Amino acid sequence: MVEPVGNHYVVARRVYSENSFDEEHEKLHRHHKNFWDHLKLYFRCSPQRVKKVALRMFPVVSWLPAYRFREWILSDIVSGINTGLVSVLQGLAFALLVNVPPGYGLYAAFFPILVYFIFGTSRHISVGPFPVLSLMVGGVVTRLVPDGTAGNGTATNTSAIDEQRVMVAASVTFLSGIFQLILGLLQFGFIVIYLSHSLISGFTTAAAIHVLVSQIKFMLQLPVPGFNKPFGIIYTLESVFSQITDTNIADLVTSLLVLLIVFVVKEINDRYKAKLPTPIPIELIVTVLAALISHFAKFEEKFKVAVVGKLEEGFQAPVAPDAGIIQKCVGDGISIAIVGFAVAFSVAKVYSIKHDYPIDANQELIAFGLGNILGGSFKGFASSTALSRSGVQESTGGKTQIAGIISAIIVLIVILAIGFLLAPLQKSVLASLALGNLKGMLMQFREVGVLWRKDKYDCMIWVVTFLAAVFLGLDIGLATAVAFELLTVVIRSQIPSCTTLANVGRSNIYRNRKDYTDIYEPEGVKIFKCSSPIFFANIEFFKDKLISAVGFNPLRVLRKRNKALRKIRKMLKKGELQVTPKGLICMAHHTQESDDELDNNRLEELDQPTDMADLPIQINWDAELPPGIVVPRVDIHSIVLDFSAVSFLDFSAMRVLQKTLKEFVRIDIDIYIAGANEGFLEKLERCAFFDEEIKPSMFFLTIHDAVLHILLKEDIASSPKLKPVEVMLQFSSFSTSVPSHYPQIPVETKF
């Protein structure tokens, strides 16, 4: 019965154990599907399922017929043009990170968009090159085709090296696409949950540092070789500073000037984005001006600056991946596949929440996998989504992936018709544009202080991920970061939070006894809570904490009592003890005997329940014992274990828990378990957890039910009314009346 009274409530009901509750309330028997049931359901074929699978595999079929042409087409065209211009420039710039000719970045900015339009589920992300992925692919390229293989640096040798590098980038991209496709078909989209926000933030920040260092050689025009190995960033900086006197001043000045302009205008775009109809396309403006100035001022001839050079018009024939290359970069393909998906899915999720539409992680894997397979076949490199480019597509009014198709058309125009206009553009300008897109990632350093104040473990994950990725490289760093992240999960679950509870406010609320002053602890009762699953790795920690909470080791007490009984039997047999109405009286001078003599090589018997059936008197362990017999005192009679936060208990932990509970029961301490989740009791029954000592009757619905049951059982002298057969429970935060036909146990009078 529940009676609302203002913002208070009064509840009157029986004190329920799990058994009594199930007896009074009929429980439905539900059929729980097993593995084979799920398998049959997954492979079931019906017209409705075929339609559902088709719509899931080809999301464009579901949203394109519902496209609001008159309302959305203009916004998508404007957004697509803006995004396409950014895609062209980022494709050229990020190709430098891959260590391939800039023109191949246009292929990476074109083909994945076409695939994503058909298979993708996000309406707002812009698919194409991403600096982190480009850098990871570039690491593989540098490792397999190092700079030293260029020989004497002739045009013929340089062209051959470029061809090899393009083939490596295409092959590793194709391989990463295969991995993404397989993971998507196997419904492994959930893997993204193992890459936490802290890990992704630390990893992308480290990648931004690598991008910054890798672009220095283009900004200074220095022949710095690639070092794709642990501590490679240090070797790169060492090489840069050893050649710093050979810097091309024209490239350096151009880079710094472009970088300053880009940063200032981007800051204006961010600060006044609410007032600007569209962000200022500073990358496009700078690129056009730089190309014009470089062409008419003849920078290449006068200052020997490095330029983009002639871009091949049209597309090259598709190629098959090189099997030899694939064998050498399997690990890289996996890391590129996972990082690319994790970043893209994170961005897509932000926009899906903002615009209220669903996205499918498994379908995203399939879309990016097919996009990378197609892109790799046409000599592109790995694609994901750049945060800045997706921001342009969404902020300029993009409604659907129609904007993506428009941006692909812009890239196509550059590939087929006007790419030659970019030939005089300095590579140092592209390097500066690449660095200009790193502001958001570099600003993630601010998260360290926030994480330290909010969650030390997350902060440690960020720092370890950042340091590992910076110094060990992105591939080894990512593996190290994931391993460390999982280690923190193990540590947190292996060392769970265990607390001793007390009643707070004289109601049915139980909290940590150390946190409140107005508490009540029933005499002789310990309430212990474990806030974690209990399994093989933390069961010993749980046991130690429980023993620490009660203040004694039950096994030690049990052994001491059995040793005491052996000694009492021996003294009675010798006549050294005599039974009187007042108890046992020692009739002889006490002699100390060793524990080894009392054990009599029967140690296993000491762990059995105490047996006093053959004694003429029942021993009261709390009373004074005969001289020479010392047994630890036990000040509690009941223990309540709060299992409301225990989500599961494995078989190994179950065995240890059963043994521990029996040790308490054998020294006459009652054990109660409260708040166990659904199915917990059934699992224990299936695993033969219960016997003559451990019984299902120890389970109660709540801590309060268990405590009231204990108080009734102990028949506390201060509450003589606690004896009706039909016991009811009442709790409230104020004194109130309950219908007179309910036998009452008001908490206020009890506590």
Residue-by-residue DSSP string for 157-185? HHHHHHHHHHHHHHHHHHHHHHHHHHHHH
Is residue 734 predicted with pLDDT exceeding 60?
Answer: no
Is residue 116 predicted with pLDDT exceeding 50?
Answer: yes
Least confident of 149-158, 389-398, 535-544: 149-158
Residue with more model confidence, 179 or 300: 179
Is residue 518 predicted with pLDDT exceeding 60?
Answer: yes
Residues 751 and 747: their CA atoms lie apart, in Å, by 6
> In the structure, what pLDDT confidence band is assigned to residue 717 with cuts at 50, 70 and 90?
very low
Structure tokens at 704: 């309060």
> In the structure, what pLDDT confidence band is assigned to residue 410 with cuts at 50, 70 and 90?
very high
Give tens-digit pLDDT for 661-691. Answer: 999 999 999 999 999 987 888 889 888 999 9
Average pLDDT over residues 645-651: 89
Is residue 738 predicted with pLDDT exceeding 50?
Answer: no
Average pLDDT over residues 432-448: 81
> In the structure, what pLDDT confidence band is assigned to residue 602 with cuts at 50, 70 and 90?
low
Residues 367 and 119: their CA atoms lie apart, in Å, by 5
* pLDDT reported for residue 724: 43
> In the structure, what pLDDT confidence band is assigned to residue 571 with cuts at 50, 70 and 90?
confident
User: 451-456: long-range contacts (C-beta < 8 A, 24 or more apart)?
Assistant: 451/198
**341 Cβ contact partners less than 8 Å away, ≥ 6 residues apart:** 180, 183, 191, 192, 364, 365, 368, 384
Is residue 500 predicted with pLDDT exceeding 80?
Answer: yes
Is residue 325 predicted with pLDDT exceeding 50?
Answer: yes
Of the CA atoms within 13 Å of residue 553, those in its CB half-sphere come to 6
**C-alpha 569: how far from chain center:** 60
Average pLDDT over residues 25-38: 76
Is residue 729 predicted with pLDDT exceeding 60?
Answer: no
Q: Choose among 22, 19, 16, 18: nearest CA to 728.
A: 16
**681 Cβ contact partners less than 8 Å away, ≥ 6 residues apart:** 18, 696, 699
Give tens-digit pLDDT for 182-191. Answer: 999 988 888 7
Residues 488 and 494: their CA atoms lie apart, in Å, by 10
Strand ranges across the sheet with 8-14: 2-5, 8-14, 728-731
Most confident of 128-137, 455-464, 569-578: 455-464
Q: Choose among 423, 428, 484, 422: nearest CA to 458.
A: 484
* pLDDT reported for residue 529: 95
Is residue 42 predicted with pLDDT exceeding 90?
Answer: no
**CA-angle at 478, arms to 474 and 483, nearest 5°:** 155
Instruction: Tell me the three-class secondary structure of 302-342, residue by residue.
Output: HHCCCECCCCCCCCCCCCCCCHHHHHHCHHHHHHHHHHHHH
> In the structure, what pLDDT confidence band is assigned to residue 3 with cuts at 50, 70 and 90?
low
In what helix (H) or strand (E) does residue 640 lie, and over which residues does it extend?
A: strand 638-642
Is residue 595 predicted with pLDDT exceeding 90?
Answer: no
**How much of the chain, in percent, has pLDDT values that exceed 70?**
90
591 neighbors 521 (Cβ within 8 angstroms): no
Least confident of 335-344, 607-616, 733-742: 733-742
Please report the sign of the dihedral spanned by the C-alpha atoms of residue 677, residue 682, residue 688, residue 692: positive
Is residue 541 predicted with pLDDT exceeding 90?
Answer: yes
386 neighbors 63 (Cβ within 8 angstroms): no
> In the structure, what pLDDT confidence band is assigned to residue 201 with cuts at 50, 70 and 90?
confident
In what helix (H) or strand (E) does residue 512 lie, and over which residues does it extend?
A: strand 509-512
* pLDDT reported for residue 587: 66
Residues 563 and 329: their CA atoms lie apart, in Å, by 67
Is residue 601 predicted with pLDDT exceeding 60?
Answer: no
120 neighbors 401 (Cβ within 8 angstroms): yes
Give tens-digit pLDDT for 340-391. Answer: 888 888 888 878 888 888 889 899 999 999 999 999 999 999 999 877 788 7
Average pLDDT over residues 283-301: 88
Most confident of 273-282, 315-324, 719-728: 315-324
Is residue 283 predicted with pLDDT exceeding 60?
Answer: yes
408 neighbors 113 (Cβ within 8 angstroms): yes
Is residue 235 predicted with pLDDT exceeding 60?
Answer: yes
* pLDDT reported for residue 591: 54
**744 Cβ contact partners less than 8 Å away, ≥ 6 residues apart:** 12, 721, 728, 730, 738
* pLDDT reported for residue 311: 80
Give tens-digit pLDDT for 334-354. Answer: 989 988 888 888 888 878 888
* pLDDT reported for residue 417: 85
* pLDDT reported for residue 165: 93
Residues 177 and 127: their CA atoms lie apart, in Å, by 14
* pLDDT reported for residue 592: 55
Q: Choose among 643, 632, 700: nearest CA to 670.
A: 700
Residues 112 and 372: their CA atoms lie apart, in Å, by 6
Give tens-digit pLDDT for 450-478. Answer: 999 988 899 999 999 999 989 988 878 88
**686 Cβ contact partners less than 8 Å away, ≥ 6 residues apart:** none
Is residue 598 predicted with pLDDT exceeding 80?
Answer: no
**CA-angle at 716, arms to 714 and 718, nearest 5°:** 175
Residues 522 and 751: their CA atoms lie apart, in Å, by 8
Residue with more model confidence, 736 or 336: 336
Mean pLDDT of the chain: 83
* pLDDT reported for residue 603: 65
Residues 727 and 712: their CA atoms lie apart, in Å, by 9
Least confident of 137-141, 588-592, 667-671, 675-679: 588-592
Structure tokens at 594: 């060793």
* pLDDT reported for residue 153: 52
Structure tokens at 627: 């001289």
Average pLDDT over residues 547-567: 90
**C-alpha 252: how far from chain center:** 42
Residues 321 and 170: their CA atoms lie apart, in Å, by 7
